[in-house]
Amino acid sequence: MENIKAIIEALILSSDAPLPLDKICAVLSETRREDVKTAVAELTAEYDQRQSGISIQEVAGGFQYRTRTEMAAWIKKLKNVKPPTLSAAALETLAIVAYRQPLVKSEIESIRGVDVSAPLKGLLDKKLIRIVGRKDVPGKPIIYGTTKKFLEVFNLKDLSELPTLREMKELQLQGEAKDEVQEESREETKD
Amino acid sequence: MDTQTENYAIKLDIFEGPLDLLLYLIKKNEIDIYNIPVALITEQYLQYLNIIKSLNLDLAGEYLVMASTLIHIKSKMLLPVPEEPTEEENEKDPRAELVKQLLEYQSFKEAAADLEKRPILERDVFTHASAGLQENTGKENEEDDELIEVSVFELIEAFHRLVSRTDKKELLEIDVEKMSLTDIINDVMERLTREKNLTFEELLGERKDRRQIIYTFLAILELIKLRMIKAYQTSAFGVIRIFPAVES
């Protein structure tokens, strides 16, 4: 078991992109998938326990060594470069694409109420979003979606890790309230 | 005067559009979003537009559309409710649509702020060989190497690029050789069936004079119209490849 952990450690470090569990399993063909999973979990816990400056994190469907957020200030001192930033327009556009994808430009514009050509181009250039196809309506508008790099940059395991939108939360609350009322009425009838 | 203009410009730049400005006014006046006093908000909204106008700044059309929407809602609310509502006028509150839009925009504004707070690669977290915002690794390309159908506008753009690249001198040359569109179409089809797929530039071959480019472009347009060929690219602004529509 110890040996497996060492191998996994090496595999993750040597991989450029987040390393999916499937790939680890393919390399460790002799080991059961369950055991590989346990080993990854144990390894992750070990880094956490000894408060290491790095940790194994699950991003974009794979495992990757990442520095802890607390270390950011020190790394900045070392690198001495300004971190890349996104404008408010770009962030809003990106959020809309992330939550509503796949969608076309006009749909983004109807939510933001302004033209989004410039932020869309910027996001495409940064490879945070990509063209996923063309909608089969007059003008054949381009359909956009987020990329794997979007997950990597925003430290997301997958799209489901995005927090629920407030409007959705409110809808859910309303739904739950209704359920409760129904349950209560059911209990009443029972009595 | 100049510095003043700049100050205003910065201040106005904060707003990401008419919806953002409206949300700001609602917050500033501590108004319940479900019960907007349209008269007050319209007045303040128009005041902002006047500031922009008086500074001769470019006023985005969207701001004017919103202004007319607000005035429209305001006038609707002044009118007495018809006793027998017609099918169309059956809607409850003239503000409902705008409120829905504002709430939707607000929730995405919050989602954007949430994204910004996440541990961002190259800002809060780092990897040993990171593919951060700035880097362009070729890998993503391979993965996303799906073909997208090209629109006629992209074809025209490619055409313009090529034409502008050719030497203008050639315009003066008198070409005795007559070209026919049919010949070019046949040539294009013949080469496509042989080569399976070609880029626009490859189709032109060596003879890159204006006339040749125009004829080839016309041939491509004609063939696309006839559904004999299809044009694809792998990304926006990518290389356009021409495929025969049916495998022969």
Q: Could you read off the pLDDT of B88-146 as tens digits, one per residue?
A: 555 578 899 999 999 999 999 999 999 999 999 989 999 875 455 654 444 444 444 55
Who among A92, A128, A149 is closest to B108 (CB)? A92
Q: Given an 8 Å threshold on Cβ–Cβ distance, is A152 in contact with B105?
A: no
Q: Given an 8 Å threshold on Cβ–Cβ distance, is A142 in contact with B236?
A: yes
- Residues in Cβ contact with A45 at an 8 Å cutoff, skipping those fewer than 6 apart: none
Token reading at B81: 């409710």
- For residues A166 and A174, the answer to whether their CB atoms sit within 8 Å is no
Class of domain B143-244 as given by CATH: mainly alpha
Token pair 């994190």 is at which residue?
Answer: A57
Asked whether residue A29 is assigned to any structural domain, the reply reads yes
Q: Given an 8 Å threshold on Cβ–Cβ distance, is B108 in contact with A142?
A: no
Asked whether residue A83 is assigned to any structural domain, the reply reads no
Residues A8, A68 within the same domain: yes
Identify which of B66, B89, B65, B69 has the alpha carbon closest to the alpha carbon of residue B79: B89
Residues A94, A150 within the same domain: yes
Confidence of residue B238 (pLDDT cuts 50, 70, 90): confident
Q: What is the CATH number of the domain that holds A146?
A: 1.10.10.10
What is the DSSP code (8-state) at residue A85? -
Residue positions counted in chain A: 191
CA distance A21 to chain B (A): 18
- Domain range enclosing A26: 2-77
- For residues B36 and B12, the answer to whether their CB atoms sit within 8 Å is no
User: What is the per-residue pLDDT across A9-24, written as a single tens digit (0 to 9) for each?
Assistant: 999 998 888 999 999 9
Residues A109, A152 within the same domain: yes
CA distance A41 to chain B (A): 19
- For residues A107 and A100, the answer to whether their CB atoms sit within 8 Å is yes
Token reading at A101: 């994808």
- Bridge partners, residue B231, by sequence: B242
The A residues from 118 to 177 touching B (CB cutoff 8 Å) are: 124, 126-128, 130-134, 139-140, 142, 147-149, 152-156, 162-163, 165-168
Whether residue A141 is preceded by a cis peptide bond, meaning omega within 30 degrees of 0, is no
Residues A171, A106 within the same domain: no
C-alpha A163/C-alpha A169 separation (Å) is 10
Asked whether residue A138 is assigned to any structural domain, the reply reads yes
User: Where are chain B's structural domains?
Assistant: 2-117, 143-244
- For residues B103 and A167, the answer to whether their CB atoms sit within 8 Å is yes
The A residues from 90 to 129 touching B (CB cutoff 8 Å) are: 91-92, 94-96, 98-99, 111-115, 124, 126-128
pLDDT attached to residue A176: 58
C-alpha B122/C-alpha A171 separation (Å) is 36
Say whether pTM exceeds 0.80.
no
- Bridge partners, residue B149, by sequence: B232
pLDDT attached to residue A190: 44
Residues A45, A23 within the same domain: yes
- For residues A99 and B111, the answer to whether their CB atoms sit within 8 Å is yes
Give the β-pairing of A129-134 and A62-67.
unpaired
Q: Which residue numbers in chain A have pLDDT < 50?
A: 183-191
What mean pLDDT, rounded, does chain A reach? 87
- Residues in Cβ contact with B103 at an 8 Å cutoff, skipping those fewer than 6 apart: A167, B33
Neighbour-count burial of B3, counting CB atoms closer than 10 A to its CB (0-12 exposed, 13-18 middle, 19+ buried)? exposed
pLDDT attached to residue A111: 94
Identity of the residue numbered B78: L
Query: Total domain count for chain A?
Result: 3
